[in-house]
Structure formats: structure tokens, C-alpha cells
Structure 1
Amino acid sequence: VAAWPAPVPGRPMELPIGSAALRVHLPPAADDPGPPPALLPANPSVPYGLFHDADLFAAFRGLLLHLWTLWELMVVGEPVLVVAPSPPQCSEAVAGLVSLVAPLLYSVDFRPYFTIHDPDFARLNALAEGEVFPPMVLGVTNLFFLKSLKSIPNVVSVGSPNPNSTRVLPVGGQSHGSGNGINGTPGKLKLDKLAINKFSPTGLLNSIKLRREGPLCLMTEHKEALWSTYVSTTKPDTSVLNRLIDAGVSPRIEESMSVVNNEILRRHFLELTTNFLAPFGPYLRTTTPSEGSSPFVDPPLLPPFHADEFVNGLAARGAGKFLSKRMKSNWLDLYRRFLEGPNFMPWFRQRRAAAEQEQQRLWRQARMNVDIEKLMSKLSELERIDSFNAIERYLLREMENSRTGATESVTVCEKLKGDLRAAFSVLPKDMQQLLLSNPKRALLLQGSNEKIPGLDGIVSQTSL
């Protein structure tokens, strides 16, 4: 391990350990404008994101109603302590939480399995009372953390203490199984078992008792629950919960049903996150040259972003049809928390850089496709001179890129050289002579099979 190379964000690495080797792919850096292909999921319906294969349904089966609150906690970057009976269960739960916000790249520090031997434990344990806990997601099995990290405002307990059971029961010990699941036949999860369809005095008392006891009650008995001071905005989507399938008591069917349920949940939270991020679209929208216009002018800059203007504009427009059905009246507070949280700026900078990169690519492609002679025939004399200067500027830039080994730049250079000569040929004679007085420009124009008036004389003089 000591001989392992330094970690490289966004790159696959092979790490030798004994006679074997670990093949890992670290998350990309926050300023990386795009996802590396190796991190793209095999399923095209699932967007780029970390841990897209995590078993979300199995990890949070007993807390399905809380998934929307957990989604918000992850979006705004709240600190979360995940408690589970075993390392695999807490690691799977942390991975599931991180994957919940795809395609938003989670930028908060997360530890799938955190122990007291971690170097950061001493720092976290030394936080004074009232001091804000840093944005982190910690997966733990040691219940000592419930006392040592008591300042963490959000605690979620997941998993089953029975190592031989893959079934995860909901809070209260009731199974989600439906009547169809008695003989191992798959059936729909009943919402009344999730305490969402009707009021239950017993359920209310249990909820009050659980909140009063706090997460320290896990010291005596493990139960799946969420303790949080966070006031959520998003409402659980019953239409999604109604589509989930229960495998009954059949372990054989359990795995296949989990795949189906994960797909349902991921599609929903993908849609939820995408719609939540949609209002930022105008600040990331690329433009292309309009038909008949010159692609040799500088592309327009992306619109500047100001948080206050964004929030005011969003308040005037409203949440939109999708979000308005799923969020409470305080939905604007969620955007404010997101803008102030640790996830927004890394995500926005990354998408902004990707948009700028894509816009440069589109305009570059437009320059490759333009019919220069047709374009120049439509321009005035002054516009032709401006176009010549612009083509020269882009050519010099591509020539610089070609020196770094960019193969595409070589092809672009050849196209731009031809465009430069074509633009030069339609300029007035006196302007041609003036332009050729620059030795570097004269050398740039040299190489055409056609004779350019005055070019040979200028080049021969500059070469002496």
C-alpha cells in the first residue's frame, strides 16, 4: 500500500495488493468539465453519477417514506450519520445516498465506513458544544459514535441485525409484504403498512416516542429510523411507492424484484433532481451561429449568474408543474439552501465549463463546415477585412494546439489556411499589400498552389 501511486481524480488505477490487484476509478475532480467514459453506467437510462449500481431499495427498504427527506439532505449538503449493524450495510447505504442525487455530482466528503481509527475522528470528536458539524456523510457500525458525534444533526439507522436475513423490515417491525406475498409470490407494497394512507394513533405514539428517545435508543435495540432537525420541503410520491414490488418471503425472487424497484426509484429521483436543476439551464445554454452568419466572430459569453437575481426570478416564475406537485409552499427555501451549500458551486462550475467547452466545439465545427467563398460574397469590404483577421486569429490558435499533438487541430489548420487564402484573395489590392508587409502573415499565407499577387516578393525579402 505504501508503494501505491498518488490518487488521480477521474482516472482508472490498478493498485497491487499481495498477489492480486484492485482496479479502482476515483471520482472526477470538481472542476472537471465532463464525466470520464469509464464512469458511465451500463444502463443508458441511468445518468452519470457515483455508485449508480448501489442497491438503493434494499438499503432503505424500511425507510422508503424518508427517501425524499434524505434526498434533500444530500442536495443541500447536510451532515449525515448512517448507522448500520455491519460494514457492508452502512457502506451500501452511504453509496445509495450519494447516488440518490444523480446527475448532481455530490461534492461533500463521504466515508462509507468510518471508524475511531480514522485520522479525522479526533478532530470531529473535539468539536465544542454548539459548534457546527462539517458537511460529511459517515457510515458507522460502532454505536460509540452516537455519543461522541452527538452534534451531528441528522442520524439515519438502516439494515438488519440478523446477518442471515436479506429482508429489511420497516420501523415498528412490520413487514411490507402484501397479501400476494404469502406464498412467495411477488405483490405490491401496501402503503398502509408504510403509514401513509391513514392515521394511526399507535403509529403516532411510536413516532413521538422514537423522536423523544433520539438515536441513543439504538444502544439497546437496532431499529430503522431517521432523526433529523431538518424541515423538509419535498413530499413523498405515493405513485412511486405504489409501483414498488414486494417479493414476499422468497429469497430467489427478492434479488430480481430489487432490480425492478431500484430502477423505479432511480428513475424517479433522476427526474426529481433533473427538474430541480432545470431552472439553471439558461445559464448553461450554448449557442451556435445562425444560418448565414459568420462563424468567425467570437461566440457570445454565457449569461452571468447572480444568486439573488436567480432566486427573485424563480419566485416570480414559480416552481414549475413537476415540482409544484411534489413540494410544499416553502420550496424556495430549498433552492436557497442549495445555493449556499457545498454542492452548488462545484456542480455549477463544472457544468459551466462543460457548456463553454461545448460551445467552442460547436463554433469550431461551424467554421469547418462554412463555405468561405459563399460567405465572403455576402460581406462588405470592412466585414471581409474583419473576417480575414478573425480567421488568422483562429488559425494561429489551432496551430498552437497542433504543436501539443492534437490531431484534430491539424485538420482544422488545413481548413483555416484555405479559408485565410480565400478571404485574402477578395480583399482590395492595396489592403493585400498592407497585410503582406507583415512577414509572419506572409509566411502564413504561403503554401497555396495558386499565385498570390505580391506574395513571392514579400517572402523573398523577409527570408534574406
Structure 2
Amino acid sequence: MNPFDGSVSPRHEEAEDAAAEGRCPWARFSSWLECVCVVTFDLELGQAIELVYPQDVKLTEKEKTSICYLSFPDSYSGSLGDTQFSFRMRQSVGRRGSRFRDDIYNRDAPVTLQREVSHFCGYVYFRQVKDVSVKRGYFQKSLVLLSRLPYTHMFHMLLQIIAPEYFEKLEPCLEAVCNEIDQWPSPEPGLTLNLPVMGVVLQVRIPSKTDKPGGSPLRQTAKENLLPAPTVLPTIHELDLFKCFQSMLIHLQMLWELVLLGEPLVIMAPSPTISSETVLALISSICPLKFCSDFRPYFTIHDSEFREYTTRTQAPPNVVLGVTNPFFIKTFQTWPHIIRLGETKMAGDLPKQIKVKKLAKLKTLDTKPGIYTAYKTFLHKDKILIKRLLKGIQRKRPSEVQSAILRRHLLELTQSFIIPLERYMASLMPLQRSVTPWKTPPQIRPFSQDEFMATLDHSGPQLTSVLKGDWMGLYRKFFRSPNFDGWYRHRHREMVQKLECLHLEVICDADLLGWTKDKSEVEIVDLVLKLREKLIKAQRQQLQVKDGVMDKLDAFIKSIISSLPDDLQTVLSTH
């Protein structure tokens, strides 16, 4: 018999984390932010990091260099004022993981909002104003929040509160803000949190993977008579999709397919704001599916991956890059899909729609806005949606309503595509009755593309989507994409863990004491060791088993050990 090799519940580890959090300086701060940086323009050095807070955060030289270049506009036009944008950068190899345990958060968060493991997200507030006291005549500084959390909307709102104040009062103000953030509760999926900073209370709800996709946003909750009344953020991560896509509405279907298939894509934009918002809007267009390739909301020629991504000796990588420097037009001539954006122009009262153009026309620095690609969509456009959005512009429908219509359409489109895959995947799971206490859990059946395609006639996307076209061709191409690979691995891992939970539960319900009655000491010791290994693995993997299962099995192990001879008890209690 071998009941065991498997996995469970985080109570013990959560308690440990709470204790560690109490001891570790900046533990709560680091559950939100890695650090805050100030980047300034130095006449001798160019961009330079002036300050990193907390001071004990260790950034490598390569990371500091990346932050310097990514936190200033690349080809700045000289226009004055404040600019906000985002970037994403690879962390240095060999860096120790975050000081904070990520697995409990990631277990409960939607896949699209999980903490980054090997990248940092940067949120930038850049100010350029005339200043006669500076040699060059300009004050140029960026305040940068570095985090592993993709909370774009929330962190940009936070910067709007703290950056103007920081530029006036400098370092003491930053120290005070970081101390306030260090008092915040950690982000926990499913909870609504009140986060005080600089006299404002931000009220946010952290999404959970159990939320219904496209559910209603956060409404203000009366809580603890907070003074001042909280500023409610309806979302922590969503962008104004309509603003991002308004000049490309007629090509929405193409954009969605390019992102779904993980195609190499470059966005050339007039500013880092438009570049980063467009890239993030594109990535989010396939929610609730996670985009599993690399993406850079803002990418510069100084980036450490520049050579890797622009070599002409191999096919372009599956990455979405946002750039602003016209130099990139020459660099990316071999890429299959390039979106050149300008400032949105109006044709009457409608935003002018950019055209699809041949790649060969992408030659000069003053290349006209357009989508340069030879890509042919698998599915037809949704003309009703486009008409509805264009009519909404004429009727002056608010941007947030237009965005909600767009988001709902994209969500329904992605769900129509993914539901048949989810349904087929579920059919690969062994039957519950085949999980028995005395055998290793059965295997999940392998994924067969041909078998899946055969299910589409009776349970394909046509059941939920009105869009016509070559759905089969789209699935075939999707199977070769990083997004399919990422989705499949994630679902397979979830199913393996579900089997482990079921196995633990059937073991818990079995008559283990009865089984030991006629067994030798060797067999009983073997059972104890395997059960204990299974429980440890379960705790390590944060498996969510039914209440009481862990405690029951733990009590069983203790009672069995106490019934054994003293010498064996000693060995097992120190094992």
C-alpha cells in the first residue's frame, strides 16, 4: 500500500508569517512596494538615482541603470509639466525573492493580478519645469514607485497624492509617506482596505480569483466613521480602455487576436504615457486569460534587453513593446506587427480611425499612424459593437461607460474562446470515485488537440458568441502560443492540487486505526512517515482542503506514534 505522496492548509504558515511580519522592519511596506526611488537629471551623469527609500533596499547596479533610463521620457519633446507612465523591467538574476511570502497572496488572487516573480513594475511621476536656479534652466525629476504588484490605477493615484507634495518638500515628506505605507494592512484578495496617506484615505478592494468576472466595482462602504471620508477607487488596476483604443476601434478584433496569440507587437507612441497605457490595455484585452509572454509598457534603446529583442538573426520574440523614440522604426523593420500611434485626431465629432497598411510602407521617421501588418483575422469584426461605440461618442457618452462596454465585449469574447477549453480540460480529470486512500492518486489524462477539436461541433464558442469566422484555425494557432502553454500549465497544476486535496480527504475518512490492527511495526512506521510527508507537502503548497482534515490526520499520526514502543516513539518524534 502507498497512500501517499502529496499536499494542504496554510493556517500554521499564516501564523508564522504574521509573527515574522511583526519582527521584520518594512514587512508591511514590502508587501505593497519594493522601494521608492527619486531619479534626477545631473549635468555630468545624465539621469541618476538621487534617493532610494527604505535605505536598506538593495538594488543591483544593472537595476539602478534600468530605473534611471525608464523613469525619464526617452525622446522628450521639451513640453513642460507633469507626466505619468508605467514600465516593467526584469530583475537581476540571482536576486533573493521578496522578503514577503507571495504564495498565499498569489493562491487567492486572479492570475492576471498575481505578484510578479521575476519582474518589477515601475510607476513614474515625471516633472519638468523651468527653474533659473538650475544650470540647465530646468527642474527635471521623477518619483518612481517600484512594486511586484500590477496595480496600475492605484499606484498612479497614489503618485498624484504624494509626488506634487514631494517636489515641494523633498526627503522628509517621502520618509513620512513610507512610514504611513508601512502601517497599511497587507493586500489580501477579497478584502476592502482603507489606506491612509498624507491626510487622504484611499479605499480599495483587492480582487479575488473567486470574483465573478466583470462584476460590479467597489461602492463606498460606511466604515468606522473615518475622517476624512475615504476616496473610493472603483478599481486598482483597470485602465480607461476607450481612451486607449479610440483611434483603433474598427480594428479591435485584430488587436484581440494578436494579443491572444502572443504575436510580436511593437507600439510606437508619441509619449511614454500613451505607450504604456496602450500596451497595458492590449494585455488586459484577453482577461481573464493571463498574458504569458513578456511585455514592456515603455522600452528604451538603453534597456538591457535591447540587443536580445532587436537582433535580426532570428525571428522576433513573442513580446509586446511600447516605444517612443523614432529610431525604433528602423530597428523594428523586420517585425510582423507594428502599431504607429499619433495624438488622436478628430474627423468631425468622431476620432479618426487609423488604417491597416503594408509593412513595406514603414520606412521613414515621419511614418504616418497606422497598423503595419499583413495579418488576416480569423474572426469577423463585431460591426454592431463598433457602431454602438461610435454612436456613444456622438451622444457624448462618458468615457467610463464606453470603457465598460468595451471591457464587457472583450471579456465575453475571451470567455467564449476559453470555455470550450476549460470544459475539455475538466473532462481529463479522473473520476472522484477512483481516488482511494490506499493508492497514489490517479493521473490526469493528457491533452489531445485533435480530441479537443472534435468537441467544438457540439460545445464550441458558437454557443456563446455571435462572431462568425474560422474559430478552428484560431484554436490551432493558439496551441502554438505561449498563452496556451501558460494556461495549460496553470490549469494542470490546479487539477493536480485538487486531486491531492481529494486524496487527503478520503484518507481522513478511511478507518486508518482499523487498518493498523494487524500490520507489522515496519508497515505502521511507513504509514506514519508517508502521512507526515503528505501533510508537510500539503502545507508547503498551501492546499485548500476541507476544514478539520489536517487536524484529524495530525491527531491520527500522534495517536499511532503513542501506541508504538518507546524506542520507535523517540525516533519518530525526532524524525
Distance in 2 between the 1:78 and 1:67 partners? 15
Q: Structure 1 residues 363 and 176, CA, compared in 2 at 3 Å: closer, same or farther?
A: farther
Cα deviation, residue 232, structure 1: 0.9
Distance in 2 between the 1:342 and 1:303 partners? 21
1:156 is paired with a residue of what secondary structure?
strand
Corresponding residue for residue 326 of structure 2: 143
TM-score (normalised: structure 2): 0.52
Q: 1:4 aligns with which of 34, 59, 69?
A: 59
1:236 is paired with a residue of what secondary structure?
coil
Corresponding residue for residue 425 of structure 2: 283
Corresponding residue for residue 118 of structure 1: 303
Pairing 1:337-356 to 2, within 5 Å after superposition: 337-356=477-496
Distance in 2 between the 1:59 and 1:403 partners? 43
2:546 maps to 1:395: no
Distance in 2 between the 1:349 and 1:24 partners? 25
CA contact (8 A) 1:14 1:21 kept: no
Cα deviation, residue 59, structure 1: 0.9
Distance in 1 between the 2:277 and 2:480 partners? 28
Corresponding residue for residue 152 of structure 1: 335
Cα deviation, residue 91, structure 1: 0.8
Q: Structure 1 residues 360 and 19, CA, compared in 2 at 3 Å: closer, same or farther?
A: same
Q: 2:500 aligns with which of 347, 360, 368?
A: 360
CA contact (8 A) 2:392 2:402 kept: no
Corresponding residue for residue 428 of structure 1: none
2:145 maps to 1:22: yes
Corresponding residue for residue 245 of structure 2: 60
Q: 1:270 aligns with which of 396, 411, 416?
A: 411
Q: Structure 1 residues 402 and 176, CA, compared in 2 at 3 Å: closer, same or farther?
A: closer
Distance in 2 between the 1:325 and 1:14 partners? 37
CA contact (8 A) 1:78 1:136 kept: yes
Q: Structure 1 residues 240 and 445, CA, compared in 2 at 3 Å: closer, same or farther?
A: same
Corresponding residue for residue 448 of structure 2: 306
CA contact (8 A) 2:350 2:394 kept: no
- CA offset digits 1:345-392 (Å, max 9, x no partner): 122101211222234334545655x4x57x999x9x99xxxxx99986
Corresponding residue for residue 459 of structure 1: 565
CA contact (8 A) 1:80 1:136 kept: yes
Distance in 1 between the 2:388 and 2:142 partners? 46
User: Please, which moves more after superposition, 58-67 or 262-271?
Assistant: 262-271
Q: Which amino acid aligns with 1:260?
A: V
1:232 is paired with a residue of what secondary structure?
coil
Corresponding residue for residue 188 of structure 1: none
2:375 maps to 1:230: yes
2:452 is paired with a residue of what secondary structure?
helix
Pairing 1:4-403 to 2, within 5 Å after superposition: 4=59, 6=95, 8=98, 10-11=114-115, 22=145, 24-26=147-149, 37=189, 41=207, 45-46=213-214, 52-128=237-313, 131-160=314-343, 168-169=344-345, 173-176=347-350, 210-211=357-358, 214-216=361-363, 219=366, 222-223=368-369, 225-244=370-389, 257-281=398-422, 282-284=424-426, 289=432, 298-311=440-453, 313-314=454-455, 317=458, 319-322=460-463, 325-328=466-469, 330-365=470-505, 370=509, 395-398=531-534, 400=536
2:403 is paired with a residue of what secondary structure?
helix
Give 1 or 2: higher helix fraction.
Answer: 1
CA contact (8 A) 2:359 2:372 kept: no
Distance in 1 between the 2:476 and 2:543 partners? 45
Give 1 or 2: higher strand fraction.
Answer: 2
Q: Structure 1 residues 348 and 27, CA, compared in 2 at 3 Å: closer, same or farther?
A: farther
CA contact (8 A) 1:61 1:169 kept: no
Corresponding residue for residue 185 of structure 1: none
TM-score (normalised: structure 1): 0.63
Cα deviation, residue 218, structure 1: 6.7
2:399 is paired with a residue of what secondary structure?
helix
CA contact (8 A) 2:240 2:403 kept: yes
Q: Which amino acid aligns with 1:127?
A: R
Cα deviation, residue 99, structure 1: 0.6
Q: Structure 1 residues 351 and 227, CA, compared in 2 at 3 Å: closer, same or farther?
A: same
- CA offset digits 1:214-256 (Å, max 9, x no partner): 3347715x53x21211121122223333443766589xx77xx
Distance in 2 between the 1:148 and 1:321 partners? 41
1:139 is paired with a residue of what secondary structure?
strand
| Count of residues in correspondence between the two structures | 369
Cα deviation, residue 63, structure 1: 0.8
Q: Which amino acid aligns with 2:405?
A: I
- CA offset digits 1:87-127 (Å, max 9, x no partner): 10011000111111112211212111122222333444441
Distance in 2 between the 1:14 and 1:63 partners? 26
Distance in 2 between the 1:246 and 1:302 partners? 49
Cα deviation, residue 142, structure 1: 1.8
Distance in 1 between the 2:541 and 2:382 partners? 52
Q: Structure 1 residues 138 and 411, CA, compared in 2 at 3 Å: closer, same or farther?
A: same
2:565 is paired with a residue of what secondary structure?
helix
Unaligned runs of 5+ in 1: 29-34, 161-167, 178-192, 195-205, 383-387, 421-442, 448-454
CA contact (8 A) 2:497 2:543 kept: no
Q: Which amino acid aligns with 2:410?
A: F
Distance in 2 between the 1:61 and 1:71 partners? 15
CA contact (8 A) 2:416 2:465 kept: no
Corresponding residue for residue 445 of structure 1: 560
1:266 is paired with a residue of what secondary structure?
helix
Tell me the C-alpha RMSD between the 2 structures: 4.9
Distance in 1 between the 2:387 and 2:465 partners? 20
Q: Which amino acid aligns with 1:304?
A: P
Cα deviation, residue 404, structure 1: 7.0
Cα deviation, residue 169, structure 1: 3.9
| Higher radius of gyration, 1 or 2 | 1
Higher RCO (C-alpha under 8 Å, 6+ residues apart): 2
Distance in 1 between the 2:122 and 2:279 partners? 23
Distance in 2 between the 1:337 and 1:101 partners? 16
1:67 is paired with a residue of what secondary structure?
helix
CA contact (8 A) 1:51 1:95 kept: no
Q: Which amino acid aligns with 1:416?
A: L
